[in-house]
Amino acid sequence: MIDIHGRAIRSRIDRWRNAGLIDHATATRLIAFEASGSPRSIPALTVIGALSVALGIIAIVSANWDQIPVRARLGGHVAVNLALGAWGYAGLAHGRLGHWAREGVLMVLSASTLALLAHVGQSFQLQGGTFGLLAAWLVLVSPFTLAFARGAANRWLWTAGLFAAAGTGLAENAAALGEADLVVTSIALFIVAGYAAPLPARVAGALHDWGRHLNHVMLAALVLATSAAQMAWRLDGLSSDLPTRVDVLAGAACATAGLLAVHAALARGLPDRPWPVAFVVASPAYAALPLVVGGAGSATVAAVGFCLYWWAVSWLAHAAGSTSLYRLAVVAIALRVLLVFVEAFGGLLLTGVGLVASGGVLLAAGYAVRRLLKHTGGPAES
């Protein structure tokens, strides 16, 4: 098999050697070191192969499930789950499972538990919603997932389940929450609760990685929600499809107070770098700002608001040396500028003119940023 990962590293090391950054001996040592690692494609193939076999069995059973008596069907599924649990116990208790085997067993047990819940609901023709199913699944699998899972796949499966449960809960109760002006407050509480995850994790050391993960995910959700709000005000001001002004302001106030409380609880004295904290705490208020100072339906306010927000993200990423986030911020600003020109010019001909003009602005901005970074020693070529 062609090792694409190995080839990419070898090509990069050759580039460094040709540029005179490393000598021949160092290059040889680096190549030998990378070659000594296990090939990365094999675990991926194992996971995909196992998943394919599992899905195939599920499809065969699903096509004929009414031919099998309920007791036999559910009994078989419970037996499979118990066997997975016993396998996991034998491996974890005696340290016999390797990293991939442990993560695989936990992931299959987690997915099979979700399927078992759905299986019971389907067998008895219960009429519950998706939120109930996902919430019950999270209650059942969170203890063993948080306690034993360490890999990214399990972490993201659980996170996806958490967001799916929150989303379906919001959708299924949208009418009642909307009537009470609590849609945005619910979203705010969800983000703040996840952002506060490192607080209990500080007590329980084993959960530290999970706390950090949830904290980062909720930070991303906060940035996305603020950006989406900057776009949404432009669409139609406050139409009937969007939350009411009271709802937005109450949610923003709730999020600001919650994030401030989290940072106050986490802080040990004044922070060395206050700007990231200020950015996080001010984000909800910034999202609601056009509703307070006016200009909610203005294209200019929306575009400037969005670009300023992502300029702050790029600045913080630059200060933190995070190349990928810095690049993401530059791309987000570029796309928003592009959208401004497409919005400003109507019709095909004028849209073409708008695209040429926006391209020119972006090329000029890219040149200016490159020059600036050359002098300041930035994190990346933009």
Q: Which of 9, 27, 117, 153 binds another protein (CB under 8 A)?
A: 117
Of residues 28 through 47, those in contact with another protein by CB under 8 A are: none
- 88 lies in the binding site for another protein (CB under 8 A): yes
Give the Cα separation of 137 and 220 in Å (integer): 24
- 157 lies in the binding site for another protein (CB under 8 A): no
109: buried, middle or exposed (CB in 10 Å: 19+, 13-18, 0-12)? buried
Q: Which is nearer to another protein, 130 or 159 (CB)?
A: 130
- 89 lies in the binding site for another protein (CB under 8 A): yes
- 64 lies in the binding site for another protein (CB under 8 A): yes
Q: Which of 18, 52, 62, 300 binds another protein (CB under 8 A)?
A: 62
Give the shortest CB-120-to-another protein separation in angstroms: 5
Give the Cα separation of 37 and 10 in Å (integer): 14
Q: How many CB atoms lie within 10 A of CB 364?
A: 10
The conformation of residue 296, written as its DSSP 8-state character, comes to: T
- 55 lies in the binding site for another protein (CB under 8 A): no
What is the dihedral angle through the alpha carbons of 205, 210, 214, 220, rounded to the nearest 10 degrees?
Answer: 110
- 130 lies in the binding site for another protein (CB under 8 A): no
Give the shortest CB-139-to-another protein separation in angstroms: 9
Site string (136-155) toward another protein, x via CB under 8 A: ----xx-xx--xx-------
224: buried, middle or exposed (CB in 10 Å: 19+, 13-18, 0-12)? exposed
Instruction: Could you list the beta-strand ranges (E) of the chain.
Output: none
Q: Which is nearer to another protein, 68 or 220 (CB)?
A: 68
> Could you tell me how many residues make up the chain?
382
Q: In this structure, are residues 84 and 116 in contact, taking their beta carbons and an 8 Å threshold? A: no
**Segment contacting another protein by CB under 8 A, of 30-38, 115-123, 261-269, 294-302:** 115-123
- 54 lies in the binding site for another protein (CB under 8 A): no
Q: Which of 97, 107, 108, 109 binds another protein (CB under 8 A)?
A: 109
Which residue, among 138, 139, 255, 143, has the nearest Cα to 193 in the 3D structure? 255
189: buried, middle or exposed (CB in 10 Å: 19+, 13-18, 0-12)? middle
- 227 lies in the binding site for another protein (CB under 8 A): no
Q: Which is nearer to another protein, 32 or 63 (CB)?
A: 63
Give the shortest CB-368-to-another protein separation in angstroms: 53
Q: Which is nearer to another protein, 100 or 144 (CB)?
A: 144
Tell me how many helices (H) and strands (E) the chain has. 16, 0
Q: How many CB atoms lie within 10 A of CB 180?
A: 12
Collapsing DSSP states into helix, strand and coil, what is residue 239?
coil
- Positions that interact with another protein (CB under 8 A): 62-66, 70, 74, 78, 81-82, 84-86, 88-89, 92-93, 109, 113, 116-117, 120, 122-127, 140-141, 143-144, 147-148
